[in-house]
Structure 1
Amino acid sequence: MTAMYHPTLGVHDLEVAREWFTRVFARPAFRWEDTLDPKLLDPDYPRNYSFFFFIHDLHYVVLCPQLHATGALRGQTRYQDVPEGMIGVGWYTDDAVGMFDRLTEHGITSHDQKGRRITSENPPVSPMAPDIHVGFTDPETAGYRHEFVRIGDRHLEYYSRQADPRLRPDWVRPPVDPNDPLRIERTSHHTFLTADPERAERVYVDAAGGRVIGQRRNEELQALSTFITLGDSVVEFAVPDPKSPAAARVSSGLDYYHGISLQVADIEQVETHLAHAGVPTRRLSTEVTSIDPEAAFGMQWRFITRRPI
């Protein structure tokens, strides 16, 4: 894995979500169809079903499931009837075919963008273009829908210019932008709730090549957390205590993408900006404030001054 591709948030109304993210994060939105050269794509691939934000060092996607399953993706059902909230997380890989082979070796099944099982005879070729490989783990065996993608070399210059600057050879994480009302320093980590941490390690460590970097108690969630680094990101897998509020989220046995923590320079400035933006926050400690899922399309945004690991 080279880096996190993007988390994906599912929403019912793209325009409402676009306005909210623009107001909260003070960054421009850009449409999926503007991120790749259309001359290199299948003209039947659906358009206008998502938009992207680049938030300091985080490539983030908001997608409307009702608009997604059209054109070349007509008939796929992976996001059918999902409530608003996180519906996936993607990773760049240099070898998508090899990655899905390793997942299979560890008992993790996967499907392509049309919902077909990925096998050695059916590699995950995207309907977008033959040199883009995209596939997804089945939640039933992986706990969650994890996406792995390889973008063909001929697309990278355009995509890095239009969507994800981290793909540029000279990119480095920028310092705090003095014009950023949130004063973001970096993405700290992504938090999943799980009842099966061994399964999470099978996907992220055994198959994907990540590394466990620590464990600690998460008192906010009443959970024991394992932190794994993969690519350029850190993922927290939190096992909730029995009968804790978070335990209900994983009672089905599937993992739950709870939210993202951003490290910031000044908590008070974050709260001041969000108050002016009309977004309620909850102060969790002197070092942490959050936008709770009820106010953020089903996921939590935490703003912290110190990373947990």
Structure 2
Amino acid sequence: MVHNYRIVRMLHPTHLVLDLDAAEKFLLEVFGRKCDKIEAYLPPPDKAPGFPRDYSITTMIADVWFDCIDPRKYVVDDQHFIEPVDQPHLLGTGWAVEGIRDLYQRFMDSGIRSTDQRNRIGTRDRIPQVQFTPKRPIFLTLPESTGTRYQVSPAEYIGKLDARTDPSWKLPPVSADDPLSIEFCSHHTILTKNLERQTHVLVDICGGKIIHTGRNEILKTDSTYVLLADAIYELGVPYEEGSFAMNDLRSRKPLDSYHSITFKVQDLAKVEKHLRDKKIRLIHQDETTIVTDPSDAIGIPWGFTTKRVPNDSRY
């Protein structure tokens, strides 16, 4: 069967937190970004009765539309859409696509199962739908099938909170007021022991391209870098016992771990000073790269680097 679909861009990374107010404060004070409440994206209450309106905040960080969710608030009819967490951790990302029904069928043909937002499994004949808009498709892959969860939405339905939906959107220049001098997102790191599973999804099915392979001496991983639409995914296979990456991957066992987000920055010295001023410890620092201690950074080992991923020609 011929399938006709296209990945337009990465959707939002989803980060699970214990305290949305603390996450909002962190993103404002550390990243210098204000957040939007999910309520601004939802239909009026009478169009989505019983649907929570305070479970998520989003913000744009350069070219990344970043989403924080408190699973304890993401409840309908006493059912959690996402199980609450004991520690904050990145959950997954996804894509805005053209031809979502064809992509769904391609996943089905590959044995990859998906659910709707209430964790109900889709069937070959029925693609999952948005909770409060029954005729609008959306699906979330089972992480048991794809390693991490990928959320897939039609590109034409992505709302105004994602600034990139504006046809005139361009990557903004670095602002003099940006405390981290962020240029753009360098890459998203997924840790895995099953590289073939991730490349099957990102490359074979979604049409990504492997642009670089090499050893990541910071993470102690053998890494494969995949360019898919507007984003780069680092698929890292940890090789050193006791390393930070190995321990994180084992904490997610048997799944993969959406481990971190790394930004390309203009001025690393400025980044270091700002992070230290905010009392954020570092777990790695060298002449080109800084990595935050996740315990000081809403659960994420954020990376900041002056180096491009080899063969990255996006900007």
Contact 1:10 1:84 in 2 (8 A): yes
Gap regions ≥5 residues in structure 1: none
Describe the superposition over 1:132-180 as per-residue Cα deviations: whole angstroms up to 9, x where unpaired: 32211111121111111125x4x55xx23xx111111111111111221
1:223 aligns with 2:221: yes
Contact 1:212 1:227 in 2 (8 A): yes
* Residue in structure 1 matched with residue 230 of structure 2 by the alignment: 232
TM-score, L = length of structure 1: 0.91
Deviation at 1:37, TM superposition (A): 4.9
SS in 1 for 2:129: coil
* Residue in structure 1 matched with residue 209 of structure 2 by the alignment: 211
- Residues 259 and 40 (structure 1 numbering): CA distance in 2 closer, same or farther, change over 3 Å? farther
1:12 aligns with 2:18: yes
Deviation at 1:303, TM superposition (A): 0.6
* Residue in structure 2 matched with residue 304 of structure 1 by the alignment: 305
Distance between the aligned counterparts of 1:79 and 1:263, measured in 2?
33
Q: Write out aligned runs for 1:157-176 (5 A).
A: 159-160=159-160, 163-176=161-174
The amino acid across from 1:299 in the alignment is: I
- Residues 258 and 81 (structure 1 numbering): CA distance in 2 closer, same or farther, change over 3 Å? closer
Deviation at 1:215, TM superposition (A): 0.4
Q: Write out aligned runs for 1:156-305 (5 A).
A: 159-160=159-160, 163-245=161-243, 246-251=245-250, 252-305=253-306
TM-score, L = length of structure 2: 0.89
Report which stretch shifted further, 219-228 or 292-301: 292-301
* Residue in structure 2 matched with residue 55 of structure 1 by the alignment: 61
Aligned match for 1:138, one of 117, 136, 142: 142
The amino acid across from 1:293 in the alignment is: P
Distance between the aligned counterparts of 1:247 and 1:279, measured in 2?
23
Contact 1:112 1:134 in 2 (8 A): yes
Gap regions ≥5 residues in structure 2: 1-6, 311-315
Report which stretch shifted further, 91-100 or 278-287: 278-287
Distance between the aligned counterparts of 1:216 and 1:67, measured in 2?
41
Contact 1:106 1:202 in 2 (8 A): no
Deviation at 1:77, TM superposition (A): 5.0
Contact 1:14 1:62 in 2 (8 A): yes
The amino acid across from 1:133 in the alignment is: P
Describe the superposition over 1:226-245 as per-residue Cα deviations: whole angstroms up to 9, x where unpaired: 01111210000001115242
Q: How many residues in Structure 1 have an aligned counterpart in Structure 2?
A: 301
CA RMSD, aligned part only? Answer: 2.0
